[in-house]
Amino acid sequence: MKTPYPAGKLRFTIGGGGCLSGRLRVPGDKSISHRAIMLGSLARGTTKVSGFLEGEDSLATLTAFRQMGVDISGPDNGHLIIRGVGMAGLREPPGPLDLGNSGTSMRLLAGLLAGQHFPVTLSGDDSLNSRPMRRVTEPLAQMGAHIETSATGTAPLCIRPGGMLSGINYAMPIASAQVKSSLLLAGLYAQGETCVSEPAPTRDHTERMLRGFGYPVRGVGNRICLEGGGELLSTDLDIPADISSAAFFLVGASIAEGSDLLLEHVGINPTRDGVINILRMMGADIQLLNQRDMGGEPVADLQVRSARLRGVKIPVDQVPLAIDEFPVLFVAAACAEGETIVTGAEELRVKESDRIQVMADGLNRLGVTARPTPDGMVIRGGGIGGGRVDSHGDHRIAMAFSIAALRASAPIQVDDCDNVNTSFPGFVNLATAAGLAIDSYRER
Ligand code: S3P
């Protein structure tokens, strides 16, 4: 039947209180899923993938490679078969590649496509088209790439073929895995060696996966180097559950009295485990069980029980290791005893939303004393009230405020939640199964 109104945005309402229990497996790692498509497509031979994240961001990458001529079967319950075309096998897509909300797709593809023999345009939604891209286009230009941005350095990115790229030595001014990965992927097509130094460790999935596909990558200290002109050989990949999605449940079970939850098969790569370290510093009860290695990525089952959290000054070196988890860590801080201080996290201002401002506004709406600073936030723990908050279309903000309801004195309504599907399809069902009193419906 036709509805009389156009469908509006998705809204969550979550009852205040409750606890989380049981065992659950959150969807596959988003960062690794993107890279599986990229490297599987460029490899020689067939790559079988399991645990692939069927979220809109990684599906945007998958669609982009299909449009460049790669034959990919699936996804079928997280399974994919990628028939790799080899390093020189991509073809010009029929039109611009639409990468939706996905910054990882755009920044990594800018590098990977800079060395191809065809022109291509990368575009996205309003949020992605307003995020900074010079951080990749400038070093790529130093390698000889021709990439046009808007006057303000944003997408659409128009990539034109030129001569052969040349390797560079690049010291990144910011700790960014997307910039590092973009340059390493361009480096595959460059003459000579490409070296990237990072000011602090960032997620190293690209380096690990390149090695898994048989491509030599040298890492000495904070400097990662590879030589262009090699080949990738297909391999099978089992992608662990995403610690960034597990983070919502780590915080939820920690703050909600009576909780006891087991999160299965979570990736605990040491460049991603800041959320565990920070929560433990705050007094959380998190155990790593059954630690194992899955194709070069460490994995464990995480047991989390409720605990009394205390405010901390978060060490700056943990920030890049937990960069996507701050929205929900701010919620943990709001439930802790005393003050939590976050510094050195200015990158949060240029994520899918300005996560410092949007989280501070939402927490204030719920009666929490949270003061945004240029590079972080100061949060005074105490009670959380009910109320209505706006996620600004940011998936992690929407889920963070849903989790906050576990400690709220009245229901919370979260607006603009459609983008939860970019990273965590099935969030509402999984959270409901664990005990969250969450409903979703469309605004009229
Ligand atoms: C990602 C790197 C991070 C992270 C993003 C995914 C990746 O961004 O915030 O969600 O897969 O490389 P930066 O490298 O820009 O910090």
pLDDT in tens, the chain (444 residues): 444 556 799 999 999 999 999 999 999 999 999 999 999 999 999 999 999 999 999 999 999 999 999 999 999 999 999 999 999 999 999 999 999 999 999 999 999 999 999 999 999 999 999 999 999 999 999 999 999 999 999 999 999 998 999 999 999 999 999 999 999 999 999 999 999 999 999 999 999 999 999 999 999 889 999 999 999 999 999 999 999 999 999 999 999 999 999 999 999 999 999 999 999 999 999 999 999 999 899 999 999 999 999 999 999 999 999 999 999 999 999 999 999 999 999 999 999 999 999 999 999 999 999 999 999 999 999 999 999 999 999 999 999 999 999 999 999 999 999 999 999 999 999 999 999 999 999 987
Residue owning tokens 């929900």: 328
Location of each CATH 3.65.10.10 domain in the chain: 10-27+240-442, 30-238
Spacing, Cα 424 to ligand 1 middle (Å)? 16
Write down the pTM of the prediction.
Answer: 0.98
Q: Coil, strand, or helix at residue 416?
A: coil
Ligand 1 atom closest to Cα of residue 324: 9
Nearest CA to ligand 1 atom 16: 176
Nearest CA to ligand 1 atom 5: 104
CATH superfamily of 30-238: Enolpyruvate transferase domain (3.65.10.10)
Give the integer Cα–Cα distance in Å for 288 and 283.
Answer: 15
Among 106, 109, 176, 178, say which to mutate for ligand 1: greatest number of ligand atoms within 8 Å of CB: 178
| Contact (Cβ atoms closer than 8 angstroms) between residue 339 and residue 311 | yes
pLDDT of residue 295: 87
| CATH class label, 10-27+240-442 | alpha beta
Among 172, 275, 323, 353, say which to mutate for ligand 1: greatest number of ligand atoms within 8 Å of CB: 323
On the question of a cis peptide bond just before residue 75, with omega within 30 degrees of 0, the verdict is yes
Ligand 1 atom closest to Cα of residue 181: 12
Q: Coil, strand, or helix at residue 101?
A: coil
**Among residues 379, 374, 407, 404, which one has the least CA distance to residue 389?**
404
Which entry of 29, 98, 238, 324 is annotated as an active-site residue?
A: 324
| Contact (Cβ atoms closer than 8 angstroms) between residue 363 and residue 334 | yes
416 annotated active-site: no
Spacing, Cα 66 to ligand 1 middle (Å)? 23
Give the integer Cα–Cα distance in Å for 437 and 439.
Answer: 7
pLDDT of residue 444: 79
pLDDT of residue 1: 44
| Contact (Cβ atoms closer than 8 angstroms) between residue 129 and residue 96 | no
Does the beta carbon of 177 lie inside 6 Å of ligand 1? yes
| Contact (Cβ atoms closer than 8 angstroms) between residue 116 and residue 88 | no
pLDDT of residue 2: 46
Q: For residue 10, what are its two tokens?
A: 């998705």
Sheet holding 71-76, edge to edge: 71-76, 79-85, 44-50, 237-238
